[in-house]
Amino acid sequence: MSKNQETAKRVLSLVGGEKNVNSVVHCATRLRFNLKDESAAATEELKNDPDVIQVVQSGGQYQVVIGSHVSDVYKELLAQSSLGNETDEKSDAPKGNIFNQLIDIISSIFTPFLGAMAGAGVLKGFLTLALTMGWLAADSGAYLVLFAVADGIFTYLPILLAFTAAKKFNTNQFLAVCLAMALVHPSINALAGTELSFFGIPVILGASGYTSSVIPIILAVFVMQYVERFFKKVIPNALQIIVVPLAVFLVMTPLTFILIGPIGTVAGNLLGGAYNSIYGLSPLLAGAVMGGLWQVFVMFGMHWGFVPIMMLNLSEAGGGIDSMMPMLLPAVMAQGGAALAVFLKSKDVKLKGLSLSAALTSIFGITEPAVYGVTLPLKKPFIAACIGGAVGGAFVAFSGAKNYVFGLVSVFSLPGFIAPGTNDTSGVVSAAIGTGIAIILAFVLTYVLGFDDPVQADAAEVKEDELKKGTATLGEQKIVLASPISGDILPLSDVKDDVFASGAMGKGLAIRPNDGSVYAPIDGEITTIFPTGHAIGITSKEGIELLIHIGMDTVELNGVGFETFVKTGDKITKGDLLVKFDAALITGKGYSVETPIVVTNSNDFLDVLDLSQENVLHGEDFLVVVK
């Protein structure tokens, strides 16, 4: 079994199996599942899978980030299941709010042919560059043949949209394509800008007709699903193969040209006009916001909401000019700059390899390896990249750079910033400068601010192993304490209490709990337990005096939300349940549940060491006392 086959098999199993999947598509790096029950998926196991970069739950989709070879995994996934088969059953997945539904619809419609569109866009940009540099003549056979494929997908875009929209809306894809072909038929295009009469009813055609249009055909296919469903119910099965298509054509064609098409055109103009008005108000602000937040939008799947706007801008009705893509290029490339800084600064071999490859893939517009594998887990590099993207995006937008072809945002987008039929390369220069600013700023900020290098954690693990084996040079005896609570670890200095934060109570750590149970971290005796249940004092057999203080100022609750299972003087064994507390009730009353665990007699020992963890489960080692 190949690696892709194994990956597909594991992913399908971990999302809950085929029975839990309503549908699945893929984009440049992700498998996008629509699951019946997301809670049935083993999300943590997927995140820890060596062939999965990240799992994102957003926009009504369960997204498994695989990387640039996602299409190969997708093919194997379909081969191992029946998910690629046509179905007329309606999805029974939860609908979610309107925003999530729209994001899901847009991504499902555009994702299948995004690669083809990106390739055609890059080719169209390079053809423009070839004309500008004099490498090809506009009337040469080579140019005309290549331009036909580069421009064809955009000219007849409604046909592709009809096919994918029909699949999304569970209606006949070939009837939808026929409807789209009517919209872009040469005889209709020849009458663009005029008014027709359909049995006395006026048919208004826009100045550019419906070539390259987006919204009209999507709305038409959305309505068509109900029309087709109606005729399937009222027409006998024996006649459906001919009569249903005929009935759909007779109803939907005039309805689309007379009503739906004009409504879609107006809606598209309003959407494009709204964006251009905001951009016209302050290009600098628009560039800073889009450049700074674009990767955040991508993480949550919100970027799909901007795809129709870019395509509307590039349509003939939108003037064929888009100002959005140039300001996004710095945001994408900045992630690569931050990843490159991580490569140079980190001493961890695995992270260095990952960050270098991530920096290279970001050049081609694939940022998921950089974001999910490097910058986001390390936090500071991601923030540095967003800052670089904001500054670079603001510069590009302020310079007035424009885009003239659609494609993925990458270094190959630059030729598309040359206005067709001109030698004006100012847009390319401005975008290149802004992108350079973003890369350099992200690199410098990441290098200067630094990050938590995993090699430090590895050193901590070595230190822990030495202590456990008794080979550490810090002392002859060590006592390992188990975590009494499951949760995220934070240093005492971050606790919002001056006594604990200053270390006056002793050395230790604090935990932000994930649940409401406290267990014995070591064998010993309960020396103190407050009547309110919020604090427990333990003395171990080795003489360690330990204080577990649940929350800040929780003594004021007078025991409300706490339940104790031990009393002063009780002998305890490591792992015994000591206290339960209601975290939701406590936080609801305005109190923090951050819980310091400190060795109050730290001065009696050589040292109290932490194990450089970010989170812990109760019962796991988390403090070492050196005697």
Q: Nearest Cα to 362, choosing from 286, 439, 418?
A: 439
Measured between alpha carbons, how far is 158 from 85 in angstroms, rounded to an integer? 24
Name, in order, each residue with C-beta under 8 angstroms of 39's C-beta and a sequence gap of 6 or more.
none
User: Residue 187: which of 210, 166, 164, 214 has the closest Cα?
Assistant: 210
HEC readout, 305-358: HHHHHHHHHHCCCCCCCECHHHHHHHHHHHHHHHHHHHHHHCCCHHHHHHHHHH
Task: Name beta bridge partners: 608.
Answer: 625
Residue whose entry in the numeric block shows the structure tokens 């909401």: 305
Q: How far apart are CA 619 and CA 520, in angstroms?
A: 9
CB-based contact 115:68 (threshold 8 Å)? no
Facing residues of 57 across strands?
62
178 is catalytic: no
Are the CB atoms for 122 and 404 separated by under 8 Å?
A: no
Sign of CA dihedral 463, 465, 467, 471: negative
3-class secondary-structure state, position 516 = coil
Bridge partners of residue 480, in order along the sequence: 624
Question: Is residue 532 packed enough to be buried (19+ CB in 10 Å), middle (13-18) or exposed (0-12)?
Answer: middle
What is the rounded CA–CA span in Å between residue 540 and residue 537? Answer: 10
**CA triple 601-605-607, angle to 5 deg:** 105
Degrees, nearest 5: CA angle 413-289-125 = 10
- The Cβ-side half-sphere exposure at 419, using a 13 Å CA radius, reads 11
Token pair, residue 109, equals: 């419609």
SS3 405: coil
DSSP 224: H
Which residues, 6 or more positions from 403, have their beta carbon under 8 angstroms from its beta carbon?
310, 314, 321, 322, 323, 324, 325, 326, 413, 416, 417, 427
Length of the chain: 627
Query: Which of these, 421, 227, 443, lies nearest to 335 by C-alpha position?
Result: 443
Rounded CA-CA distance 519/585 in Å is 20
Residue in 12, 15, 21, 27 annotated catalytic: 27
Residue 571 has which token pair?
Answer: 């002998």
CA dist 407 and 76 (Å) reads 27
Distances (CA, A) of 427 to 3, 434, 436: 43, 11, 14
Handedness of CA 375, 378, 381, 383 (dihedral sign): positive
Catalogue the active-site residues: 27
